Structure 1
Amino acid sequence: MEITGAGRLEVRITPLDVGKRVSIRRLVDPSEGPGTFTDVVGVLTSWDEGGVLVLTRRSGEVVRVPETSLVAGKTVPAAPARRRGPAADFAELTRVASRAWQPVESERLGEWELRAASGFTRRANSALAVGDPGVPLDEALDRVRSWYAERSLPAYVQAATGAAGTQETLCAALEERGWTREVSADVRIGALAPVADLAPGRDPVALARSVGGPDGGWLRRYQRASGDPAPHMLRVLESGPSVWFASVAAEPAEGGGDGGDTPVAIGRCVVDGRWAGFMAVEVDPAHRRRGLARAVMTALARRALEEGASAAWLQVETDNTAAGALYAGLGFTTHHSYHHYRAPRD
């Protein structure tokens, strides 16, 4: 049904709009009478017979709204128009990102991809749930859980929100089935040339192509490589069409010496056609606020330009405000967000 509110406020959405992006205004607590309203924008993922709407926001947050609290509602475009940065769609970015962080083992489930790398990162140890799994959702999730259980790994599903073609409906369905959203990250994109045009900084950056993988010093700085790196970790780090590692050496110690053999800053870049992906940009806490992260990214961007790339992407966890501020200053804007949902514990 279509509900009409008082005055010019109208609810112009119905259950037939499930799957569309909508904007609604609701009364915060109808029992307290008129007064406080709030707005919600997201994909309408369900409208059940009990009169409860479920909206999934760009961030992946699921909001449940009683029909009785609605005072206004309308459908809105699938995604806001992008004003700057390279043109990109979700499907293309997802393919590029998956090639930059490849698992050791994978298997198809319809159009989904089950990925495993002995637990090294969720990105390489989760089901990439893009497209149709070829079976009903509950059966697909059972197969996901069994596949990871056979490998003594927790079962994760990676799904995205916030752009045309993303999986808000799937995210809501996972939550309804008790899957827990553990980590969310933004996929940000930007033009490559402005990053390459930055001043290189006073600390020289060494670049090495992935022939035999990153060296020992790079791995000692990499926070995920605690102790000696396992073969599966190296295989993931080396994966990608054209992989480059950058590092900034420690300053010489007073009285001579090389100041240690662990770099003070590192980064990784994967060049794939027109795209350059930046990841593993890390700086020794004692050397932060010196522009080392920018220097690493500039050096990698220049190399990517030489290989013909023109656009850049990266992933940053939503709660990493420091990194988010750095990338915003370099011109990166959020294209969409992705989330890792963990299966319920038996």
Structure 2
Amino acid sequence: MPGDFSSGARLEIRVTPADVGKRVSVRQLAELADGHPTFTDTVGVLASWDAGVVCVTRRTGETVRIPEKLLVAGKVVPAAPVRRGIAVPAVTAEELAAIASRSWPATETSPLGGWTLRAAGGFTRRANSVLVGGAPDRPVDEALAYVRRWYGERGLTPYLQVPDTSPFVPALDERGWIREADTLMRTAPLAPLTSLPGGDDVTLSRTPDAAWTAAYHRTGELAGAALKVLSGGPSVWFASAPGVIGRVAVDGAWALFGAVEVAPEMRRRGLARSVMGALARRAYAEGAVAAHLQVEADNVAARALYDRLGFLDHSGYHYRRPAA
């Protein structure tokens, strides 16, 4: 057993901050009872080791915080075996949108009842729109007026991200808020993606380097704001190989894939699949079991790729903005 530290074996701490991102088994001192120590074992991904605190994320998504002074043993252990046949967890459209929002986080948020106002210097509509979940804490007209003011103060267009099944769709139609950028949320079991071929030349890192950022077409003049959003999220990894990049953010059982881009001259060589596979293996090692992503409904090429990878439509959303 990876977490078994035999009572007859010498307890050693064979993990260091350099092992962040690896799967580890650690033992901590729990308490002393009548002069006898009791211990607790934790197996998971070493998420961080900073300021005297060791954080290990279990497969369930729970993060265990261990004071360094209580650590009595630790070692790097092999990645967990891939388990086939695990179903995608059942979540509502609003729940999946909230998971995705945490993995593509705005730099500024403000609650409005069941709505969440998000801003990130204008980098992507997703991070600069109202996440419409439940009901706002005031009548709809007052809520929309507040949204206009809040985004106007930041020099941003007041966008709403609205589930297609939201009860507020008729009200927005009546008030002339323009619908655009219909988007699909798609999900798939993660385990099959870990078997995608290739990936030997894919480099994974915690931060995007200059080459990765230059290859990402959405960055443009918003490089500063983009870096904050791209690097935000519970556990983010960036992938790069000649002619292709990608990103995954792991949040418990869920892994959000995005920013998969292939240089025009390198397309139709399986590079996107190679990067997806490398990111999937990294996400699976951290305990994720389900993949999700967002793709605009009219992006036929991307939808065809994700069809071949086993993604199915979960739900849809679109954006709204005032006519004037």
After TM superposition, the score normalised by the length of structure 2 is 0.71
Q: Which residue of 1 aligns with 2:204?
A: 207
The range that moved more, 101-110 or 187-196, is 101-110
Q: Which residue of 1 aligns with 2:234?
A: 241
Q: CA deviation at 1:108?
A: 1.0
Change (3 A) 1:197 1:86: farther
Q: Are the counterparts in 2 of residues 184 and 339 from structure 1 also a CA contact under 8 Å?
A: yes
**3-state DSSP of counterpart to 1:135:** coil
1:92 aligns with 2:95: yes
Q: How does 1:115-126 map to 2 (within 5 A)?
A: 115-126=118-129
Residue in structure 1 matching 2:181, options 167, 183, 187 = 183
Q: CA deviation at 1:233?
A: 1.4
Q: Are the counterparts in 1 of residues 255 and 283 from structure 2 also a CA contact under 8 Å?
A: yes
Q: CA deviation at 1:175?
A: 1.6
Q: 1:276-332: per-residue Cα shift (whole Å, max 9, x none)?
A: 010000000100000000000000000001001000100000010000000011110
| Distance in 2 (alpha carbons) for counterparts of 1:130 and 1:226 | 30
Q: CA deviation at 1:96?
A: 0.8
**3-state DSSP of counterpart to 2:294:** strand
The range that moved more, 290-299 or 175-184, is 175-184
Q: Which residue of 2 aligns with 1:219?
A: 213
1:326 aligns with 2:286: no
| Distance in 2 (alpha carbons) for counterparts of 1:142 and 1:274 | 37
Q: CA deviation at 1:86?
A: 4.3
Residue in structure 1 matching 2:247, options 262, 268, 290 = 268
Q: Are the counterparts in 2 of residues 86 and 191 from structure 1 also a CA contact under 8 Å?
A: no
Q: How does 1:1-346 map to 2 (within 5 A)?
A: 85-161=88-164, 166-167=165-166, 169-200=167-198, 204-209=201-206, 213-226=207-220, 229-249=222-242, 264-345=243-324
The range that moved more, 290-299 or 95-104, is 95-104
Instruction: State the one-letter code of the partner of 1:207.
Output: L
Q: Are the counterparts in 2 of residues 86 and 189 from structure 1 also a CA contact under 8 Å?
A: no
| Distance in 2 (alpha carbons) for counterparts of 1:343 and 1:173 | 12
Q: Are the counterparts in 2 of residues 159 and 338 from structure 1 also a CA contact under 8 Å?
A: yes
Instruction: State the one-letter code of the partner of 1:288.
Output: R
After TM superposition, the score normalised by the length of structure 1 is 0.67
Q: Are the counterparts in 1 of residues 178 and 323 from structure 2 also a CA contact under 8 Å?
A: yes
Instruction: State the one-letter code of the partner of 2:176.
Output: G
Instruction: State the one-letter code of the partner of 1:326.
Output: L
| Distance in 2 (alpha carbons) for counterparts of 1:187 and 1:283 | 21
**3-state DSSP of counterpart to 1:178:** coil
Q: Are the counterparts in 2 of residues 185 and 337 from structure 1 also a CA contact under 8 Å?
A: yes
Q: CA deviation at 1:92?
A: 2.5
Q: CA deviation at 1:90?
A: 2.1
The range that moved more, 280-289 or 230-239, is 230-239
Q: 1:92-140: per-residue Cα shift (whole Å, max 9, x none)?
A: 3122101011111111111211111111100011111111211011110
Q: CA deviation at 1:144?
A: 0.4
| Distance in 2 (alpha carbons) for counterparts of 1:190 and 1:207 | 22
Instruction: State the one-letter code of the partner of 1:294.
Output: R
Instruction: State the one-letter code of the partner of 1:107.
Output: S
| Distance in 1 (alpha carbons) for counterparts of 2:240 and 2:173 | 41
| Count of aligned pairs | 238
**3-state DSSP of counterpart to 1:308:** coil
Change (3 A) 1:101 1:288: same
| Distance in 2 (alpha carbons) for counterparts of 1:122 and 1:226 | 15
| Distance in 1 (alpha carbons) for counterparts of 2:310 and 2:223 | 35
Q: CA deviation at 1:226?
A: 2.1
Instruction: State the one-letter code of the partner of 2:197.
Output: A
User: Gapped runs of 5+ residues in structure 2?
Assistant: 1-86
